């Protein structure tokens, strides 16, 4: 895997050989982004299947369930992780009693999840690009790009598809503290693709909207529940500002992100280490002794969401519930 903690300074690759290494890479955000975490976790189970010395199907299933528990415990908020693990376990259970057949089924399911993700993102892009006018400036938060998925991206997929459709598109990327995925990853992807991108700090969103500089917002999602969207911390503030300024606010996400049997009260928002806030590289930016709150995600109620873009189309919140609920 490309170590995303090192970008954009260094393109450094790590090899993951054990499910425990995969779990650690997800936890440390060497890989991140809801769809990518799902695909990587699926391969984590494939590694568990290959490494297992189980001689019966039953033993192997038990090993896989142990590995799934390990992978499940890495990050609590994005649902694609759980969806992918369940899907691979289900394929394993369907494969019968022969350990080799199970191993093959697990690996195939991981491949399928990865391949499908790329195709799904292209379809999200196709549906979503219709919403992007020519000469539009799109604001996006965090990184819902190729680096957050198997490729192409969800929110950035919409932007890429608009560019491929011949539209002139400019992007405003929020840096996305504390881990700076906007500055480090989104800016990196867009500069590489030659799509014009302006980087701002998270607290400049109000300014750029008040000056009429933003035509629409497109972000990804980590989990979509009945009453709203969990996504990277800061998304909610952007959604409130978008509504205040009459700017459409779109969420681009595969259906694997949907969790419409739950509502927001049933979802845990991950709290991460204070170190992510008080240190940037080797630099300490706050005094010793200060308390820190470091939430990785926030919740945006559906009343702020103009539409959700999935691989099946564009859905207003009530339509989304009708279609998938």
Query: Which residues are tagged catalytic?
Result: 222
* Interaction site with its own copies (CB under 8 A): 8-9, 172, 174-178, 180, 183-184, 187-188, 191-192, 196-208, 210, 233-234, 236-237, 240-241, 244, 277-278, 280-295, 298-299
Dihedrals φ, ψ of 224, to 5°?
-110, 115
Task: Tokens for 314, please give them.
Answer: 């564009």
For residues 307 and 315, the answer to whether their CB atoms sit within 8 Å is yes
CB of residue 294 to its own copies, shortest distance in Å = 8
Q: Which residues contact 10 (CB under 8 A, 6 or more apart)?
A: 3
Query: Is the CB of 187 or the CB of 216 nearer to its own copies?
Result: 187
Residue 138, beta-bridge partner list: 171, 216
**Nearest 10 degrees: CA dihedral of 73, 74, 76, 78?**
-130
Contact in structure between 145 and 188 (CB atoms under 8 Å): no
228 in Cβ contact with 299 (< 8 Å):
yes
Least gap, CB of 190 to its own copies (angstroms)? 8
- Identity of the residue, 149 or 181, whose beta carbon is nearer to its own copies in the bound complex: 181
Residues 6+ apart with CB under 8 A from 168: 134, 135
Range 242-272 burial, b when 16+ CB lie within 10 A, else e? beebebebbbbbbbbbbbeeeebeebeebeb
Helix (H) or strand (E) holding 169: strand 169-174
Least distance in angstroms from the C-beta of 198 to its own copies:
5
Q: How crowded is residue 274: how many other Cβ atoms within 10 Å of its Cβ?
A: 15
The number of beta carbons lying within 10 Å of the beta carbon of residue 138 is 25
Give the nearest distance from C-beta 90 to its own copies in angstroms.
Answer: 35
Q: 202 — alpha (psi -120 to 50), left (phi > 0) or beta?
A: alpha
Q: Residue 85 or 239: which CB sits closer to its own copies?
A: 239
Residue closer to its own copies by CB (options 15, 288) is 288
Nearer residue to its own copies within complex by CB, 128 or 178:
178
Q: Which is nearer to its own copies, 56 or 203 (CB)?
A: 203
């Amino acid at each position: 895997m490309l170590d995303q903690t090192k970008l954009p300074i260094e393109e450094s690759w790590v090899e993951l050989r054990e499910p425990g290494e995969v779990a650690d890479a997800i936890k440390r955000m060497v890989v991140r982004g809801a769809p990518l975490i799902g695909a990587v976790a699926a391969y984590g189970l494939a590694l568990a299947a290959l490494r297992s010395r189980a001689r019966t199907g039953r033993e192997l299933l038990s090993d896989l369930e142990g590995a799934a528990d390990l992978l499940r415990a890495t990050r609590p908020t994005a649902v694609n992780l759980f969806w992918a693990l369940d899907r691979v376990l289900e394929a394993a259970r369907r494969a019968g009693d022969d350990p080799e057949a199970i191993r093959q089924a697990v690996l195939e399911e991981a491949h399928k999840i990865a391949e499908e993700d790329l195709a799904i993102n292209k379809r999200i892009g196709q549906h979503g690009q219709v919403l992007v006018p020519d000469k539009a400036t799109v604001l996006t938060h965090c990184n819902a790009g190729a680096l957050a998925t198997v490729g192409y991206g969800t929110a950035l997929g919409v932007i890429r598809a608009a560019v491929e459709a011949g539209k002139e598109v400019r992007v405003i990327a929020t840096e996305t503290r504390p881990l700076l995925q906007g500055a480090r990853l989104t800016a990196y992807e867009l500069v590489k693709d030659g799509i014009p991108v302006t980087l701002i700090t998270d607290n400049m969103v109000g300014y750029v909207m008040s000056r009429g500089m933003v035509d629409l917002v497109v972000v990804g999602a980590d989990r979509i529940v009945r009453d709203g969207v969990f996504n990277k911390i800061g998304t909610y503030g952007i959604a409130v500002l978008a509504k205040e300024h009459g700017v459409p606010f779109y969420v681009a996400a595969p259906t694997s992100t949907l969790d419409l049997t739950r509502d927001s009260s049933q979802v845990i928002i991950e709290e991460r280490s204070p170190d992510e806030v008080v240190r940037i590289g080797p630099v300490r930016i706050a005094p010793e002794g200060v308390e820190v709150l470091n939430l990785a995600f926030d919740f945006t109620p559906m009343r702020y969401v103009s539409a959700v873009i999935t691989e099946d189309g564009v859905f207003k919140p009530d339509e989304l519930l009708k279609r998938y609920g």
